[in-house]
């Protein structure tokens, strides 16, 4: 366990494996719940065409209202310098999608680290776990921990109120809902649902929110029936 973390540098792959808004929203929920600052980094942009990169940036642009977002390539070193500046006087955690290139990015940032990396599994379409344990590494006047990657996140001890309060954009607009404690699901006069219909909140993010809540409720029902 790492204590006194200042920020989680959340690594997401642009391609191989493909960028997943669902996985991004799940990570953001966990990080917000733990009251740590998330920083979103999209790796492997060298694998995208200009048009594909433009499409990805349009999808991720919404998050820039709430978080710092960086697009990088470990291979070409594009924007790697900007990532270096994040570490100064901070304890950071590198976390995110399996196969997103966390270790490769750290090696690109500091060639002396020489962290073991592994190629993407073509058969499975996802990365292999390269980092087996977590340790603090001294880097650019700060410390960073490279954590094992994840391809699935579950919320065993969560309830829908925790989800509602830690989707930061939903929480921001919750005071405009007709009912206090609105779950943004079935209630009339819900500001969040109104913004989704107006396309001011991406529908995919709202669908991710509903999916997480549904999973939590299904898990609770299963435990009660057992």
Give the architecture-level CATH label for domain 7-146.
Answer: 3-Layer(aba) Sandwich (3.40)
Predicted model pTM? 0.86
- The whole-number pLDDT of residue 32 equals 96
Average pLDDT, the chain: 87
pLDDT-flagged residues of the chain (< 70): 1-2, 115-134, 148-152, 222-226
pLDDT at 116: 60
3-state helix, strand, coil in the chain (%, to 5): 40, 15, 40
pLDDT in tens, 169-206: 999 999 999 999 999 999 999 999 999 999 999 999 99
Query: In this predicted structure, what is the pLDDT of residue 146?
Result: 76
Query: Would you list the domain boundaries of the chain?
Result: 7-146, 160-225
What span, in angstroms and rounded, lies between the C-alpha atoms of 108 and 144? 14
Tell me phi and psi for residue 108, to 5 degrees.
-70, -35
Q: Which CATH architecture has domain 160-225?
A: Orthogonal Bundle (1.10)
């Amino acid at each position: 366990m790492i204590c006194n973390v200042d920020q989680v540098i959340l690594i997401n792959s642009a391609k191989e494996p493909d960028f997943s808004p669902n996985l991004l929203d799940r990570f953001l929920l966990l990080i917000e719940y733990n009251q740590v600052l998330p920083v979103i980094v999209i790796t492997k942009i060298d694998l995208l065409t200009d048009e594909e990169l433009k499409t990805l940036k349009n999808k991720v642009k919404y998050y820039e209202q709430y978080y710092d977002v960086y697009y990088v390539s470990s291979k070409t070193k594009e924007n790697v310098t900007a990532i270096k500046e994040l570490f100064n006087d901070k304890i950071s955690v590198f976390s995110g999608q399996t196969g997103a290139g966390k270790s490769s990015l750290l090696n690109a940032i500091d060639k002396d680290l020489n962290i073991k990396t592994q190629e993407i599994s073509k058969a499975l379409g996802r990365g292999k776990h390269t980092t087996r344990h977590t340790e603090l590494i001294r880097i650019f006047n700060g410390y960073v921990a490279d954590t094992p990657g994840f391809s699935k996140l579950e919320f065993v001890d969560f309830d829908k109120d925790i989800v509602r309060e830690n989707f930061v954009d939903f929480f921001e607009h919750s005071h405009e809902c007709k009912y206090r404690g609105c779950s943004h699901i079935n209630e009339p006069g819900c500001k969040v649902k109104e913004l989704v219909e107006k396309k001011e909140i991406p529908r995919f993010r709202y669908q991710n929110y509903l999916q997480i809540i549904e999973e939590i409720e299904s898990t609770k029902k299963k435990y009660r029936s057992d």
